[in-house]
Structure 1
Amino acid sequence: MKVLILCTGNSCRSQMAHGFLQSFSSNIDVFSAGTKPAEKVNPKAVEVMKEAGIDISDHTPHNVSEYINEPWDYVITVCGGANESCPVFVGNVEHRLHIGFDDPSDAIGSDEFVMTEFRRVRDEIKNKFEQFYNDNLK
């Protein structure tokens, strides 16, 4: 089973989803990418995933163009806000899904509030991807 998770920057939501989905089974090949990849994974995403027992500190953002010629069982977009356009993937894909989430890196306020937003989105990603895994891949 081969799954590609797409977002714009590939620095936060797609990386967290990648980490969770990979943790559910070693029989799934999980990749993530963005249409405009950031330079690095958001450190707050790394921190809140570590709190959940998953280490994504070695993940790096990738450009979706790296994967366009590969076949995929699932391509899942995770961007959610109305102000953000989700990438369109035109490759060889068996199933396309959208599971949208708020972007915690857009949170403004105290450090405590921002971390609360990262944890909230992390938990939503875990729950929705666990449901996706149980419904489609198990």
Structure 2
Amino acid sequence: MAEGFARQFFDAESWEIRSAGVEQHGLNPRAVKVMLEKGIDISTHTSDLIDMAYFNTSDVIITLCGDALDKCPVIPASITHQHWDLTDPARATGSEEEILDAFRQTRDTISDLVKELL
């Protein structure tokens, strides 16, 4: 979701935006669904592992959720780092609508945080 908002809000000619993690989980269909509600299609995005060469030469790294901070490789001191301590909506339980609401809440928080980067 963060990559989707970043690609919408940032100039693609000035920024190279990538999303990756310490594990591959696949693209969550609920994330795709709630992003479409905002007019952003992330259905072609992929769940990629961190490319360490790219990671170590990035200008800004943002980690999301507690697991990312705990499991993330050491971030070089020269790179700006922000950690957004979000609740992982993929861990939500309840009815389908309650789970989608968790995804929507996280989506909206991510949208606000990405806008703050501007």
TM-score, normalized by length of structure 1? Answer: 0.75
2:6 maps to a residue whose letter is: L
RMSD, aligned α-carbons: 1.5
**Structural mapping, 1:36-47, within 5 Å:** 36-38=23-25, 40-47=26-33
What is the rounded CA distance, in whole Å, between the counterparts of 1:61 and 1:125 in structure 2? Answer: 18
More helix by share: 2
SS of the equivalent of 1:55 reads coil
Q: 2:21 maps to which residue?
A: 34
Tell whether 2:107 aligns with 1:122.
yes
- Any stretches of 5+ residues in structure 2 without a counterpart? none
- Any stretches of 5+ residues in structure 1 without a counterpart? 1-15
2:19 maps to a residue whose letter is: S
Q: 1:78 maps to which residue?
A: 64
Q: Which residue, out of 84, 88, 111, partners 2:72?
A: 88
Q: 1:69 maps to which residue?
A: 53
What is the rounded CA distance, in whole Å, between the counterparts of 1:101 and 1:73 in structure 2? Answer: 22
C-alpha contact (below 8 Å) 1:69/1:91 kept by paired residues: no
Q: Evaluate the alpha carbon distance shift between residue 126 and residue 85 of structure 1 in structure 2; reply closer, same or farther with a 3 A threshold.
A: closer
C-alpha contact (below 8 Å) 1:37/1:63 kept by paired residues: yes
More strand by share: 1
State the 1:89 CA deviation: 3.0
- For residues 27-58 of structure 1, the C-alpha deviation after alignment (integer angstroms, 9 at most, x for no partner) is 321101111111x2000000101111111000
C-alpha contact (below 8 Å) 1:68/1:90 kept by paired residues: no
SS of the equivalent of 2:40 reads coil
State the 1:91 CA deviation: 5.9
The size of the alignment, in residue pairs, is 112
What is the rounded CA distance, in whole Å, between the counterparts of 1:85 and 1:68 in structure 2? Answer: 15
